[in-house]
């Protein structure tokens, strides 16, 4: 199992980090060990002093594939959730400045949180999907799939030009504006529409 992530998939988020709006999806990967397992505590990473949450819609791959065309891409995923692509922003800034890969900022153990899964039906996919993140009592991020620069299908098709997609792979589809810092003791809750998908406390 592998975890694909899309960077800069919302215009407002690209702007808030002073990044250019990309003309093709920005893709990076987290290993299997990045997935926080159920009933496992989340610990603040010791190598960072600036931990950021990034709430994202997450797709689960349901069919093996390679070189998938846009128009067939929706056959390759069948479940959705909300997750957090935890990012050591200070580490990432340093790596970006040096032009180095992001893994140490993005792909560390337990840096990927995923909530419960909802089966994707054509009905759900027909209208824009809303999601949000609460930090303690405040809603800090609100996203809607219609604001994505690259749609689910475009992302799946694009990834599959480079990597085989396998059943069980996860795809984090990018974060909307509002990313920010969290500290020990904070509680983060992710919502898909009005349904709570996960709750994680920073230990
Ligand atoms: Zn992200």
User: 179: CA distance to ligand 1 center in Å?
Assistant: 9
Mean pLDDT confidence for 97-123: 96
Mean pLDDT value across residues 79-95: 98
Res. 22: pLDDT tops 90: no
Distance 60 CA to ligand 1 centre (A): 16
Task: Calculate how far, in angstroms, residue 103's C-alpha sits from the geometric centre of ligand 1.
Answer: 12
Please tell me the distance from the alpha carbon of residue 139 to that of residue 74, in angstroms, as a whole number: 30
Contacts of 182 (CB under 8 A, 6+ apart): 51, 52, 53, 135, 188, 202
Domain-by-domain residue ranges, the chain? 3-201
Taking residues 131-144, report their average pLDDT.
Answer: 97
Tell me what pLDDT residue 16 has: 84
CA of 19 to the centre of ligand 1 (A): 13
CA distance 193 to 155: 22
Q: Is CATH 3.40.50.150 the classification given to domain 3-201?
A: no
Q: What is the mean pLDDT of residues 62-78?
A: 97
């Amino acid at each position: 199992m592998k975890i694909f992530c899309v960077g800069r998939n919302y215009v407002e988020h690209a702007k808030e980090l002073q990044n250019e709006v990309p003309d093709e999806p920005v893709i990076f990967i987290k290993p299997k060990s990045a997935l926080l397992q159920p009933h496992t505590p989340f610990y603040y990473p010791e190598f960072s002093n600036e931990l950021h949450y990034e709430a994202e819609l997450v797709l689960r791959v349901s069919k093996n594939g390679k070189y998938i065309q846009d128009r067939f891409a929706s056959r390759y995923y069948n479940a959705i959730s909300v997750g957090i692509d935890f990012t050591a922003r200070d580490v990432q800034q340093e790596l970006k400045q040096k032009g180095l890969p992001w893994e140490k900022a993005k792909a560390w153990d337990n840096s990927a949180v995923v909530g419960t899964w909802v089966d994707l039906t054509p009905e759900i996919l027909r209208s824009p999907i809303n999601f949000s993140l609460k930090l303690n009592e405040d809603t800090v991020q609100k996203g809607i799939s219609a604001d994505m620069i690259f749609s689910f299908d475009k992302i799946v098709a694009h990834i599959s030009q480079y990597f085989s997609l396998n059943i069980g792979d996860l795809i984090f589809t990018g974060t909307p504006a509002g990313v920010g810092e969290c500290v020990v003791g904070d509680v983060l809750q992710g919502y898909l529409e009005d349904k709570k998908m996960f709750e994680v406390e920073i230990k």
